[in-house]
Amino acid sequence: MKEVSVLIGGKAGDGINSAGAMVAQLLNHMGYRIYLYFDYPSLIRGGHNFAIIRGAEQGIGTCREKVDFVLALNKETVEKHRSMWHADTVVLVNADLVKGEGQGIPVKEILALENAPDIMGNSAVIGGFAKAAGIDWETVNAVFLSHIPKGVEMNLKVARRAYDMIAPTRPVSRFPSPALPLIAGNEAIGLGLLKGGLEAYVSYPMTPSSSLLHFLAEQKERFGIQVVHPESEIAVVLMGLGFACAGKRAAVGTSGGGFCLMTEGLSFEGMAELPLVLLVSQRTGPSTGLPTYTGQSDLRLVLHAGQGEFPRLIVAPGDALEAMYWSAVAMNLAWKYQVPAFILADKTLSEGTYSIDPAAFVDPPFADSPRWDGSVPYRRYADSPSGVSPLAFPGAKDAVVKVNSYAHDEPGITTEEGPMVAMMTEKRLRKWRGLAAEMDNYSPVSTSGAAGAPTALLCWGSTKGVCTEVAGALGLRVVQPVVLSPFPTRQVRKALEGTSRIICVEENATGQLGELAQQHGITADTRILKYDGRPFTREELEGKVREVLA
């Protein structure tokens, strides 16, 4: 087998996410590149949770329709996912709860024999899986030692008992590649922000952005940052801007509904020329929508949010490595141009787990605004050819720093004079031109698949993974603008050169990237859209693309 997919399911509270992470690590140590998708309803206990762990020889970012192993912690897992079995799917079940299906693991009995607590039951299932998949005990032992923080010896004993009971029915290949770090998209965003100099993260919990708040709060001492959870998203964005006013690199994070509350603050950010990074991780909308499911329906919102006209950077990374890189870029360019910089993610990216190769990562260049040199009285909004004014912060000797949400003059005093208002508007918009020109220093469009192919899949964000695989199978090319504002028209055109057909693939109902591209003179011939909250599987998209090509 060149690749393997494992589904593990149970009820909410069964620890499916952490058990899934252990399965992922076992495959990681067998040399596989990993993508883990976690599916859960919006409740705390009792609903059905499952994770699909997929391993392949090459990097991946999507799931298959069928799975090779099913690890069922309850009956529902067997019943709900039977359509995902193929003829050789290996089904391992908790024999206490599931009868008459697959191979049973007597979890209660094993726990009793080892006098182990209930919480270690998943180790029995993981041990059983390892044996069924032909994973050697040394690998199991090493993975447990590295990834179980408490009671590892007893967990190993529990796993071993199950390991000895199950037959190696479907051994998976071992690849020579070394194990790589496995991180979730939101963690990758956090690490990128840290590489970009993050000093403070401010956020109010909202799925699917919350796991970044949790990650940074847990790790804040390791990285020497402040993490604040205020009373509302309104307070979040304004506190973030307070950090920026005082000269600290800050970021905020939310999802669509919380971002709606931030829009007034966003417009203030644009007018006052304050640098702040905003993570907006999309879920299925409108309104409360599907809180724990994915979507790509907020591009138009993020492009246009906030009254008035001001420049903004929007990056939409497609996987963890891109998320790390572009989050660092977002922070640097926010500070270089004193503009809002968005990281537009979605549930698939934010909460999916990916293999990343640190050796493949090059830190983007550090960038910042010039600082006031003290030779002339400080003017917060001093005009310049680039539109960027030198920065000084309260506390700087002899600088009177006046930040203003009103139309203002160069020192930052409110004005209603027409010529000054027009001049300052032009000053702000010049930064947009600078940002657009800046894109020559980066690769704002990712491409994959067959470079010269006449048919291109045009996509953005997390659908990169599935599009790349489908393009690989069908001999198509993939064009994925990572930067969506300023829209890299020239680079997208170049990536599309020689195509005769453009198929736009999006997880929304109205084709928002297609519309944006159209505004820049790039017309997609066909759209393939999905809007049920679930990401495309490889087979699903491949089928739809084949229909279009037929």
Partner 1 sequence: MTPRNLITDALNTWCPGCGNFTIQHTLKNILAGMEKEGKSLDDVVLVTGIGCHAKMADYLNINSVYTLHGRTIPVATGIKLANPKLTVICCSGDGDCYAEGLDHLIFAAKRNIDITVIVHNNRVYGLTTGQYTPTSPLGFRGKSTPMGTAEYPFNPLELMLAGGATYIARGYTKKMDQLKNLLAQGISHHGFAFIDVLQICATFFPVADYYGSRVYDLAGNDTGDFEAACHVAREWDYNTDSRIALGLFYQRKAPTFEEAMLSPPVAVTGRQEAIASLLKSRT
Assess 403 for contact with partner 1 (CB under 8 A): yes
HSE-up of residue 415 (Cα within 13 Å, Cβ side): 16
Residue 182 binds partner 1 (CB under 8 A):
yes
Q: What kind and span of H or E run contains 350?
A: helix 347-351
Token pair recorded at residue 74: 């309850």
Residue 479 belongs to what H/E stretch? strand 477-481
d(CA 444, CA 425) in angstroms, rounded, equals 26
Binding partner 1 (rule: CB under 8 A), the pick from 194, 321, 495, 522 is 194
Nearest CA-CA partner of 231 in 268, 264, 205: 205
Task: Quickly count: other Cβ atoms within 10 Å of residue 109's Cβ.
Answer: 14
Residue type, 105: I
Residue 23 sits in the site that holds partner 1 (CB under 8 A): no
Part of the chain binding partner 1 (CB under 8 A), chosen from 64-72, 203-211, 396-404, 507-515: 396-404
Please state the closest distance from residue 76 (CB atom) to partner 1, in A: 30
CB 42 within 8 A of CB 48: no
Binding to partner 1 (CB under 8 A) within 213-252 occurs at: 219-228, 230-232, 234-236, 238-248, 250
Q: Are 174 and 134 in contact (CB under 8 A)?
A: no
Kindly tell me which residue out of 42, 169, 386, 405 binds partner 1, with binding defined by CB under 8 A.
Answer: 405
Q: Report phi then psi at 83, rounded to 5.
A: -65, -15
Report in angstroms how near the CB of residue 73 gets to partner 1 at its nearest.
24
Q: How far is the CB of 197 from partner 1 (least distance, A)?
A: 8
Q: Write each residue from 65 to 84 as x if it is in contact with partner 1 (CB under 8 A), else as -, in one continuous string.
A: --------------------
- 146 scored as a contact of partner 1 (CB under 8 A): yes
Contact (Cβ atoms closer than 8 angstroms) between residue 409 and residue 380: no
Q: Which residues contact 182 (CB under 8 A, 6 or more apart)?
A: 21, 24, 25, 28, 34, 36, 353, 354, 355, 356
For partner 1, the closer of residues 219 and 425 by Cβ is 219
290 binds partner 1 (CB under 8 A): no
Is residue 398 close enough to count as binding partner 1 by CB under 8 A? yes
Is 414 one of the binding residues for partner 1 (CB under 8 A)? yes
CA 274 remoteness from chain centre:
25
> Smaller CB distance to partner 1: residue 85 or 201?
201
Q: Which residues pair with 448 in a beta bridge?
A: 478
Q: Which residue of 27, 125, 166, 356 would you call a contact of partner 1, by CB under 8 A?
A: 356
Q: How far apart are the first and last CA of the chain?
A: 30
Do residues 528 and 495 touch, judged by C-beta distance below 8 A?
no
Q: Does residue 473 interact with partner 1 by CB under 8 A? A: no
Nearest by Cα to 526 from 503, 549, 501, 500: 503
Q: Pick the binder of partner 1 from 185, 258, 265, 514 (CB under 8 A).
A: 265
Specify whether the CB–CB gap between 29 and 179 falls below 8 A. yes
Q: Which is nearer to partner 1, 21 or 206 (CB)?
A: 21
Q: Contacting partner 1 (CB under 8 A), which of 33, 157, 195, 427? A: 195
257 part of the interface to partner 1, by CB under 8 A: no
- Number of residues lying near partner 1 (CB under 8 A): 65
Angle in degrees, CA 326, 332, 335, rounded to 5: 140
**For residues 18 and 232, which CB has a smaller minimum distance to partner 1 in the complex?**
232
Q: Which stretch binds partner 1 (CB under 8 A): 91-99, 189-197, 476-484, 527-535?
A: 189-197
CB 346 within 8 A of CB 282: yes
Q: Which stretch binds partner 1 (CB under 8 A): 88-96, 98-106, 261-269, 508-516?
A: 261-269
Can you tell me which of 9, 16, 20, 28 binds partner 1, judged by CB under 8 A? Answer: 28
Q: Does 510 bind partner 1 (CB under 8 A)?
A: no
Give min distance, CB of 16 to partner 1, in A. Answer: 19
Closer to partner 1 by Cβ: residue 220 or 493: 220
- Minimum Å distance from CB 463 to partner 1? 25
- C-alpha closest to that of 413 among 423, 403, 425, 427: 403
Tokens of 492: 């997208």
Q: What angle, 0 to 180 degrees and rounded to 10, lies between the N-to-C axes of helices 185-195 and 210-223?
A: 40
| 22 vs 470 by CB, closer to partner 1 | 22
Binding site for partner 1 (CB under 8 A): 28, 146, 179-183, 191, 194-195, 199-200, 202, 219-228, 230-232, 234-236, 238-248, 250, 264-265, 268, 272, 356, 358, 393-406, 408, 412-414
